[in-house]
């Protein structure tokens, strides 16, 4: 990496016919071979950082002029040249030269210098590629975290809206994927809301972690030039500057924070998609996916497959791999900069691209799926899910819970053998198991009342869920103000 000290003019090349050397090549007689250049280059993937690089360079040049380190005329030329380059990259007319441009930073500086002359060569004054690279990644991760927050907010809004829309719909709740107790569909949807609400907080934390400016750290030890680091940070919208130059160039915790936020978000998306795949199957029949979020079969004309839900579930492994990748890069790295850190960008890019695409897909799926309320209610009578309430009824009559549990277990076993539901039993049939049963036992196993009786805070009863929806709306308002 070029350091702040490497400012002396390079000697002319001894072989005028030799291939062009990179901007750091003054110290070297020969450039790396073509294969090594390709191996060492990051331009193919870090081109996407061009906006961050241009913004950082413009802020740096303006600060250099304000401090009297370069002339205002040079700063104006640099800004105009960078704007021209940015316009060409945006339009797709900028020509990168992979044989010379190791990365996006060198590509922009090379072309800038070719176009505006000596002023372009002064841009790197007081700056190393180490802090330049760190700055660009800080800016990118801060922006990616903001995009993640927006996408999570959209999904959270959709989940709460669907919970409000289907308030009162009863469905089976499961443990071990076996029918357990009836719950409200709204309660089930809100369980995912709270997961993604926590993910929003993690994305916000990643945003805050990236919100510090390392520019001015130079190669690792700072610089002798009288830089105004606070001015540069303010120009780029940072809330603070990094306090230690060595940590400033080598810290990638903020990138880990972002990938971690992406990873857990993707895991939660995978859990939700697993349920959508199950719920849309013929065996469950709880929901039907919108045509725009489904695909068909090349041979079976009747098929309607939840392919996008499956794809989100499948992509989770790659995001988890991105987290392992960046942690492995960092785990043995001594201070300060090592070329290893070039490998930090692809995991960040892959993780954020994958999770943003997945969030978009899942928000659409949840927002457009058709809920089969009748089938959900029908399934709530399957699996003897009122059994706990029947046992609790006996407890209310004074029977110890373990005895009540055993009695109801025998009732369920007999119902399974006879092929009847608990709700089909008569009072006389119940009293044959225990004299403590009376007419009130039939109310105890009514599905709607089973749900409604769960009134504790955070439970699935109607009143508790209405309270939860109100709290979710308040949480959404807080997210919007973050």
Report, as residue numbers or ranges, the catalytic residues: 176, 297
179 within 8 A of 385, measured Cβ to Cβ:
yes
E strand or H helix at 259, and its extent? helix 253-279
Sort strands 178-184 and 170-175 into parallel, antiparallel or unpaired. antiparallel
Q: Read off the tokens for 59.
A: 């802020």
Would you give the end-to-end CA distance of the chain in angstroms?
38
Residues 6+ apart with CB under 8 A from 242: 212, 213, 214, 217, 248, 251
In Å, how far from its chain's centre is CA 197? 12
Among 216, 218, 162, 169, which residue's Cα sits nearest to residue 192? 162
User: In angstroms, rounded to a whole number, what is the distance separating the alpha carbons of residues 152 and 356?
Assistant: 9
User: In angstroms, rounded to a whole number, what is the distance separating the alpha carbons of residues 184 and 174?
Assistant: 12
Long-range contacts of 29-38 (CB under 8 A, 24+ apart): 34/99, 37/98, 37/99, 37/102, 38/98
User: In angstroms, rounded to a whole number, what is the distance separating the alpha carbons of residues 72 and 94?
Assistant: 27
Q: Read off the tokens for 310.
A: 């499956």
Among 343, 190, 358, which residue's Cα sits nearest to residue 273? 358
CA dihedral (213, 216, 221, 226) positive or negative: negative
3-class SS of residue 236: coil
User: In angstroms, rounded to a whole number, what is the distance separating the alpha carbons of residues 153 and 472?
Assistant: 12
CA distances from 300 to 276, 297, 303, 446 (A): 21, 5, 6, 42
The full length of the chain comes to: 482
Q: Read off the tokens for 262.
A: 């992406």
């Amino acid at each position: 990496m070029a350091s702040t000290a490497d400012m002396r003019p390079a000697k002319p090349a001894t072989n005028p016919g030799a291939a062009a050397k990179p901007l750091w090549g003054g110290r070297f007689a020969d450039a790396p071979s073509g294969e090594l250049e390709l191996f060492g280059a990051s331009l193919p993937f870090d081109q996407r950082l061009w906006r961050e690089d241009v913004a950082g360079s413009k802020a740096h040049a303006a600060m250099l002029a304000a401090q009297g380190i370069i002339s205002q005329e040079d700063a104006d030329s640099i800004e105009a040249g960078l704007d021209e380059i940015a316009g060409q990259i945006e339009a797709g007319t900028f020509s990168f030269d992979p044989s010379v441009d190791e990365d996006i930073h060198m590509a922009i500086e090379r072309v800038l210098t070719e176009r505006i002359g000596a002023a372009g060569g002064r841009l790197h004054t007081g700056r190393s590629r180490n802090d330049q690279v760190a700055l660009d990644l800080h800016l990118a991760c801060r922006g990616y975290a903001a995009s993640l927050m927006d996408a999570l907010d959209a999904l959270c809004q959709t989940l709460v809206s669907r919970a409000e829309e289907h308030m009162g719909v009863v469905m089976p709740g499961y443990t071990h994927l076996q029918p357990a107790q009836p719950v409200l569909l709204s309660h089930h949807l809100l369980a995912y809301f709270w997961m993604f609400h926590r993910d929003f907080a993690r994305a916000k934390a990643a945003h805050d972690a990236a919100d510090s400016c390392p520019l001015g750290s130079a190669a690792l030890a700072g610089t002798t030039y009288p830089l105004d680091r606070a001015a540069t940070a303010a120009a780029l919208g940072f809330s603070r500057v990094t306090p230690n130059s060595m940590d400033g160039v080598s810290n990638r915790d903020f990138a880990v924070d972002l990938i971690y936020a992406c990873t857990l978000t993707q895991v939660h998306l995978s859990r939700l998609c697993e349920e959508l795949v199950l719920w849309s199957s013929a065996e469950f029949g709880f929901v039907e996916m919108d045509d725009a979020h489904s695909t068909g079969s090349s041979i079976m004309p009747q098929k309607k497959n939840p392919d996008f839900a499956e794809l989100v579930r499948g992509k989770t492994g790659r995001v988890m791999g991105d987290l392992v990748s960046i942690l492995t890069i960092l785990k043995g790295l001594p201070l300060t900069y090592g070329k290893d850190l070039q490998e930090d960008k692809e995991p960040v890019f892959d993780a954020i691209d994958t999770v943003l695409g997945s969030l978009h897909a899942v928000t659409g799926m949840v927002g457009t799926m058709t809920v089969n309320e009748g089938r959900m209610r029908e399934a709530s009578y399957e699996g003897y899910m009122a059994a706990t309430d029947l046992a609790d009824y006996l407890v209310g009559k004074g029977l110890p819970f373990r005895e009540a549990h055993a009695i109801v277990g025998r009732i369920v076993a007999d119902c399974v053998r006879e092929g009847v539901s608990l709700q089909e039993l008569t009072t006389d049939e119940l009293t044959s198991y225990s004299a403590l049963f009376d007419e009130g036992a039939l109310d105890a196993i009514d599905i709607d009342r089973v749900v409604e009786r769960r009134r504790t805070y955070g439970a699935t009863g109607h009143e508790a869920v209405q309270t939860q929806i109100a709290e979710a709306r308040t949480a959404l308002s807080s997210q919007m103000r973050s």
